[in-house]
């Protein structure tokens, strides 16, 4: 989970009017030729919230840097397809025991060899409760011998065979395990990192396409300067000389810098410019689907939402929401209505899963379903959706509440919590007594990542305490299947069950909005909404 924090929403709104002015600028002469391999690309970022240690980074500010300076076993291309990076081969027969071979002769930027131990030691470090715990510790939870309660210095499930080979034993078959290996938690670490992990987090040494521009390249709260790693000759070899990631406190400042020519690539457009940036930047602007799924959850334990009555009411609520209208009017098309529980950028996605009709707007059918539920037990009270007021959610929550009011004839409203921390605490403690906003950003491009962690019985992020034995069984079957296509089929069947039960009511998918300047070309955004920086060429 890479978390995004967007600050100063109020200023953004207030400034919207002013920023409309900026739509007047125009004129975009052809990008000049003569791309230079030494030119440094500048892009927006935010101050990492944690030291730059792969297993302890779980937000986009640090993730963008970590992904640039490390190379994992595999990497994801623009479409989210998985290709080998450091790995030579990843083999399994039962989806539970893996033999991983890495390419020989690879080096970290301090000259150390990248060996099987570089991976095994790094994973053991990330998995060991004694080390923190690390924010991405749960990624290792399915490796044999893992424990949250005890200190396990060396997982029995990880074995080094020789310099370039190691084996992984999982506690159960997981066919999506190879897909997850491109996530930052699974990056290798040089042996020197463990001597002083704090110093390493300040000046990390990786094996990726880029490396830090010397000691102290991380200027806190200001920027981090990366240069191309001359020793990296993998599939992500940079076509530019380096990457300057400038930390912005507001999206407005970053956008102004792009307009003023001080910034090459921007991956977030401020709200006030959403309606104008495409006219202004033309073919240098992009809007594409992101691996982010938005929903709200109405737990079973709420009055009137248990059993058959609850199923009917959830279906009624889902059918009473006109997703098309809200994404158009409130989000100016920067969200797209959901058709399932995953995301269109994921391999295996389908918008015609049987049962997905429950997401189509139909006020009459909704009323009908609601009446059927009332026949079981008459409704009373107000239906509420809790959200954090510091995240720009009020507009859509109010819109959904209004639609429920109008289409179901019930009292409905938003229940704002002042901060993100407050609402998450109430959700985690199960003290919340209303429906609440939920969302998911994928860690790696796989259908299972949108389903297992949220809806499987007892799963970590199963905030609605959903439990369905058939669903769990289909997930297990899918994970045990080493053939990706037939595994995805099982996952889609599992989604059919979700459409009947609606453990979360799908709303829409986020999109990423970005733009770039005239001096750069070949800008592509990856499946995780981060530009593929290594592909960018820049003329000087």
Partner 1 sequence: MAGYIARRLLQAIPVLLGTTFLIYFMVFAMPGDPIVALFGDKTPPPQVLEQLRERYNLDQPFIVQYFIFLGNIFRGDLGTSFSGQPVSEILAETFPVTLRLALMAVIIEMVFGIAVGLISGLRKGGIFDASALVVSLILISLPVFVVAFVAQFIFGIQLGWFRTTVGPGAPTQDLILPAIVLATISFAQITRLTRASVIETDGQDFVRTAASKGLSRSRIVPVHILRNSLIPVVTYLAVDFGVLMVGATVTEGIFNVPGVGRTLYQAIIRGEGPTVVSFVTVMVLIYLVVNLLVDLLYAVLDPRIRYAK
Closest distance to partner 1 from the beta carbon of 325 (Å): 25
Q: Which is nearer to partner 1, 51 or 333 (CB)?
A: 51
Among the residue ranges 184-192, 341-349, 374-382, 438-446, the one whose residues contact partner 1 (CB under 8 A): 438-446
Residues 193-222 touching partner 1, rule: CB under 8 A, are: 198, 201-202, 219-222
Residue 21 sits in the site that holds partner 1 (CB under 8 A): yes
**Contact residue for partner 1 among 31, 99, 113, 133 (CB under 8 A):** 133
Task: Check: CB of residue 284 under 8 Å from CB of residue 337.
Answer: no
Residue 11 sits in the site that holds partner 1 (CB under 8 A): yes
Residue 451 sits in the site that holds partner 1 (CB under 8 A): no
Among the residue ranges 71-79, 226-234, 325-333, 415-423, the one whose residues contact partner 1 (CB under 8 A): 415-423
Q: Which is nearer to partner 1, 118 or 136 (CB)?
A: 136
Q: What tokens does 209 get?
A: 């396409």
Instruction: Say which residues have a Cβ less than 8 Å from residue 243's Cβ, sequence separation at least 6.
Output: 40, 41, 42, 43, 68, 210, 225, 226, 227, 533
Residue 493 sits in the site that holds partner 1 (CB under 8 A): no
CA distance 428 to 272: 33
Largest Cα–Cα distance in the chain?
A: 73
Q: Which is nearer to partner 1, 51 or 235 (CB)?
A: 51
Radius of gyration of the chain (CA): 24
Closest distance to partner 1 from the beta carbon of 125 (Å): 15
**Which run of H or of E encompasses 42?**
strand 40-45
The residue whose two tokens read 């939920």 is 438
Residue 257 sits in the site that holds partner 1 (CB under 8 A): yes
Task: Check: CB of residue 324 under 8 Å from CB of residue 535.
Answer: no
Q: Which is nearer to partner 1, 153 or 473 (CB)?
A: 153
Q: Which is nearer to partner 1, 408 or 427 (CB)?
A: 427
Residue 50 sits in the site that holds partner 1 (CB under 8 A): yes
Residue 296 sits in the site that holds partner 1 (CB under 8 A): no
Among the residue ranges 320-328, 366-374, 433-441, 528-536, the one whose residues contact partner 1 (CB under 8 A): 433-441
3-state secondary structure (DSSP) of residue 114: coil
Q: What is the DSSP string of 488-520?
A: HHHHHHHHHHHHHH-SSEEEEEEEEEEEE-TTE
Closest distance to partner 1 from the beta carbon of 356 (Å): 23
3-state secondary structure (DSSP) of residue 106: coil
Residue 7 sits in the site that holds partner 1 (CB under 8 A): yes
Instruction: Say which residues have a Cβ less than 8 Å from residue 173's Cβ, sequence separation at least 6.
Output: 94, 95, 96, 476, 479, 480
Closest distance to partner 1 from the beta carbon of 262 (Å): 6
For 121, left (φ over 0), alpha (ψ -120 to 50), or beta? alpha
Residue 275 sits in the site that holds partner 1 (CB under 8 A): no
Among the residue ranges 2-10, 177-185, 403-411, 530-538, the one whose residues contact partner 1 (CB under 8 A): 2-10
Closest distance to partner 1 from the beta carbon of 427 (Å): 8
**Contact residue for partner 1 among 37, 38, 377, 425 (CB under 8 A):** 425
Among the residue ranges 283-291, 305-313, 457-465, 470-478, the one whose residues contact partner 1 (CB under 8 A): 457-465
Residue 467 sits in the site that holds partner 1 (CB under 8 A): no
Residue 303 sits in the site that holds partner 1 (CB under 8 A): no
**Contact residue for partner 1 among 276, 461, 500, 539 (CB under 8 A):** 461
Q: Which is nearer to partner 1, 37 or 262 (CB)?
A: 262
Residue 501 sits in the site that holds partner 1 (CB under 8 A): no
CA distance 440 to 1: 8
Residue 457 sits in the site that holds partner 1 (CB under 8 A): no
Residues 63-122 touching partner 1, rule: CB under 8 A, are: none
C-beta neighbour count of 371 within 10 angstroms: 14
Q: Is the dihedral of CA 75, 76, 77, 78 positive or negative?
A: negative
Closest distance to partner 1 from the beta carbon of 429 (Å): 9
Q: Which is nearer to partner 1, 201 or 299 (CB)?
A: 201
Among the residue ranges 226-234, 347-355, 413-421, 493-501, the one whose residues contact partner 1 (CB under 8 A): 413-421
100, burial (CB in 10 Å: exposed 0-12, middle 13-18, buried 19+): buried
Quick note: the x/- pattern for partner 1 over 364-393, rule CB under 8 A, is --------------------------x---
Q: Which is nearer to partner 1, 370 or 440 (CB)?
A: 440
CA distance 252 to 536: 23
Among the residue ranges 258-266, 307-315, 340-348, 472-480, the one whose residues contact partner 1 (CB under 8 A): 258-266
Task: Check: CB of residue 419 under 8 Å from CB of residue 390.
Answer: yes
Strands (E), 328-452: 335-337, 382-388, 411-417, 435-441
Q: What is the DSSP string of 148-210?
A: SSS--SS-TTEEEEETTEEEEEBSS--TTHHHHTTSGGG----GGGGG-HHHHHHS----SSE
Task: Check: CB of residue 414 under 8 Å from CB of residue 389.
Answer: no
Residue 274 sits in the site that holds partner 1 (CB under 8 A): no
**Which run of H or of E encompasses 84?**
strand 82-84
Q: Which is nearer to partner 1, 30 or 222 (CB)?
A: 222
Task: Check: CB of residue 414 under 8 Å from CB of residue 296.
Answer: no
Q: Which is nearer to partner 1, 21 or 469 (CB)?
A: 21
Residues 233-252 touching partner 1, rule: CB under 8 A, are: 246, 248-250, 252
Tallying the residues shown for the chain, one arrives at 540
CA distance 285 to 452: 35
């Amino acid at each position: 989970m890479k978390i995004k924090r967007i600050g100063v929403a109020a200023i953004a709104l207030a400034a919207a009017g002013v920023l409309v002015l900026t739509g007047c600028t125009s004129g975009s002469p052809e990008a000049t030729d003569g791309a230079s391999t030494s030119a440094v690309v500048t892009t927006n970022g935010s101050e990492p919230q944690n030291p730059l240690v792969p297993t302890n980074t779980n937000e986009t500010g640090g993730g963008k840097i970590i992904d640039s300076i490390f190379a994992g076993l595999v990497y994801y291309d623009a479409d989210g397809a998985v290709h080998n990076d450091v790995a030579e081969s990843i083999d399994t027969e039962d989806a539970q025991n893996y033999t991983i071979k890495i390419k020989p002769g690879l080096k970290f930027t301090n000259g150390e060899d990248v060996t099987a131990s570089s991976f095994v030691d790094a994973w053991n470090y990330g998995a060991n409760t004694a080390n923190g715990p690390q924010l991405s510790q749960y990624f290792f939870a399915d490796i044999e011998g893992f424990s949250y309660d005890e200190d396990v210095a060396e997982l029995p499930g990880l074995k080094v065979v020789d310099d370039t080979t190691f084996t992984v034993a999982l506690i159960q078959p997981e066919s999506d395990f190879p897909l997850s290996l491109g996530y930052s938690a699974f990056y290798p670490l040089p042996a020197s990192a463990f001597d002083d992990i704090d110093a390493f987090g300040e000046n990390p040494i990786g094996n990726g396409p880029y490396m830090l521009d010397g000691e102290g390249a991380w200027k806190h709260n200001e920027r981090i300067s990366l240069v191309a790693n001359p020793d990296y000759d993998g599939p992500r070899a940079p076509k530019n000389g380096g990457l300057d990631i400038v930390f912005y406190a507001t999206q407005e400042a970053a956008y102004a810098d792009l307009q003023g020519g001080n910034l090459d690539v921007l991956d977030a457009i401020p709200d006030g410019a959403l309606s104008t940036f495409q006219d202004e930047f033309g073919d240098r602007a992009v809007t594409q689907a992101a691996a982010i799924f938005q929903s709200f959850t109405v737990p079973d334990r709420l009055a009137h939402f248990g059993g058959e009555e609850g199923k009917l009411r959830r279906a009624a609520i889902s059918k009473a929401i006109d997703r098309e209208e809200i994404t158009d009017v409130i989000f100016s098309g920067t969200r797209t209505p959901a058709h399932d529980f995953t995301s269109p950028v994921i391999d295996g996605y389908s918008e015609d899963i049987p049962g997905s009709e429950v997401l189509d707007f139909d006020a009459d059918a909704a009323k009908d379903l609601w009446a059927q539920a009332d026949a079981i037990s008459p409704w009373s009270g107000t239906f509420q959706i809790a959200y954090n007021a510091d995240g720009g959610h009020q507009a859509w929550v109010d819109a959904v509440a209004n639609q429920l009011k109008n289409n179901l004839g019930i009292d409905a409203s938003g229940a704002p919590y002042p901060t993100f921390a407050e609402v998450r605490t109430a959700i985690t403690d199960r003290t919340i007594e209303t429906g609440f906003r939920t969302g998911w950003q994928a860690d790696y491009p796989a259908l299972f990542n949108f389903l297992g962690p949220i809806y499987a019985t007892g799963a970590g992020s199963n905030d609605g305490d959903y439990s369905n034995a058939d669903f769990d069984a289909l997930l297990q079957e899918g994970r045990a299947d080493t053939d990706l296509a037939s595994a995805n089929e099982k996952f889609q069947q599992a989604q059919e069950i979700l459409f009947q039960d609606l453990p979360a009511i799908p709303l829409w998918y986020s999109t990423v909005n970005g733009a770039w300047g005239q001096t750069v070309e070949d800008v592509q955004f990856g499946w995780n909404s981060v530009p593929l920086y290594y592909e960018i060429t820049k003329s000087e």
